[in-house]
């Protein structure tokens, strides 16, 4: 019988692990010796922080990221097909949700491997919870276009959808482009549109605030190179 593939949530700051992650996550990481990870260095650090009893050098760690081929994923899943349990760890978040992992889960289902998501923090849901915006109807759009004219058009389209359908719109940006995105949000959205900025969620310096676009002017947070979620709505 094949083993089980566990999707393991991670956090931004190791020092908050005990407060943020359920005990079952640490227990499961401690019980595993095979991992499929987005980044080997940060995965090793996370594993050691929640399961210090592990001898990292004895673990089987395969790097599977957004550029990995199906053949590479299949090779990494061979121990699971042979009966060994394994865990999937992305950089900081929930595998498969705005993080690599969906391709691994898709292939695992095709191969008859049981996939088990472990409970943990999702920055998207945490931001939505705290935003005060509509949590009954919402959409996540990932990354918006990089080219600024295209991005301006995308923002106007999302704003229209948010206002006409009363649907909260969520999106993210590569952290080093956060400030340019904020400039475009203030330049192209209606002054009365509500905007939530949620950065460094679950970290000690977590920042979450919702205001109108007009209310944000002159008060933008300095979130350069900080992972953030952006929400617009009514």
- Looking at the chain, the domain(s) classified CATH 3.40.1010.10 span 4-117
Residue 13: is its pLDDT beyond 90? no
Instruction: Read off the pLDDT band of 149 (50, 70, 90).
Output: very high
pTM score, whole prediction: 0.91
- pLDDT score of 158 more than 80: yes
pLDDT of the residue at 57: 94
Spell out the CATH class of 123-233: alpha beta
Considering the chain, what is the average pLDDT of its residues? Answer: 95
pLDDT of residue 38: 94
- The conformational region for residue 112 under phi > 0 = left, psi -120 to 50 = alpha, else beta, is left
| Coil vs helix vs strand at 110 | helix
Task: Please tell me the number of Cα atoms within 13 Å of 125 on its side-chain side.
Answer: 7
Beta bridge partners of 193: none
- % of the chain surpassing 90 pLDDT: 91
pLDDT tens for residues 32-46?
A: 999 999 999 999 999
Query: Do 155 and 213 contact (CB within 8 A), yes or no?
Result: no
Return the pLDDT at 93.
Answer: 85
Tokens of 76: 């990494």
- Pairing between strand 86-89 and 114-117? unpaired
In angstroms, rounded to a whole number, what is the distance separating the alpha carbons of residues 91 and 113?
23
Q: Please give the DSSP secondary-structure letter assigned to residue 145.
A: P
CA gap 203, 182 in Å, rounded: 21
Which pLDDT score, from 0 to 100, does residue 92 have? 75
Q: Is the pLDDT at 31 greater than 90, yes or no?
A: yes
Buried b (16+ CB within 10 A) or exposed e, 101-126: bebbbebbeeeebebebbebbbbbbb
Fold category of 4-117 in CATH: Cobalt-precorrin-4 Transmethylase; domain 1 (3.40.1010)
Q: What average pLDDT does this structure show over 187-201? A: 97
pLDDT value at position 132? 97
- Digit-coded pLDDT (tens) for 74-110: 999 999 999 999 999 998 789 998 888 999 999 999 9
Read off the pLDDT band of 230 (50, 70, 90).
very high
In the chain, CATH 3.30.950.10 covers 123-233
Inter-residue contact 142 to 171 (CB < 8 Å): yes
Residues forming a β-bridge with 61 = 35
Contact, 56 vs 91, CB < 8 A?
A: no
């Amino acid at each position: 019988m094949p083993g089980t593939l566990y999707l393991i949530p991670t956090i931004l700051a190791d020092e908050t692990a005990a407060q943020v992650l359920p005990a079952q996550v640490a227990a499961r990481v401690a019980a595993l010796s095979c991992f499929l990870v987005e980044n080997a260095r940060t995965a090793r650090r996370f594993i050691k922080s929640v399961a210090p009893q592990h001898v990292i050098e004895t673990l089987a760690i395969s790097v599977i990221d957004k550029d990995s081929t199906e053949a590479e994923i299949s090779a990494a899943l061979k121990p699971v097909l042979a009966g060994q349990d394994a865990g999937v760890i992305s950089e900081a978040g929930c595998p498969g949700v705005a993080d690599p992992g969906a391709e691994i889960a898709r292939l695992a289902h095709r191969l008859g491997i049981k996939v088990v998501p472990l409970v943990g923090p999702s920055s998207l849901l945490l931001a939505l919870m705290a935003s005060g915006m509509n949590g009954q109807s919402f959409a996540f759009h990932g990354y918006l276009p990089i080219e600024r004219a295209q991005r301006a058009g995308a923002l106007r389209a999302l704003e229209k959808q948010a206002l006409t359908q009363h649907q909260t719109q969520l999106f993210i940006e590569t952290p080093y482009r956060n400030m340019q995105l904020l400039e475009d949000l203030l330049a192209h959205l209606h002054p009365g549109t509500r905007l939530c900025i949620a950065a460094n969620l679950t970290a000690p310096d977590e920042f979450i605030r919702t205001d109108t676009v007009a209310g944000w002017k002159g008060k933008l947070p300095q979130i350069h190179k900080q992972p953030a979620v952006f929400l617009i709505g009514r």
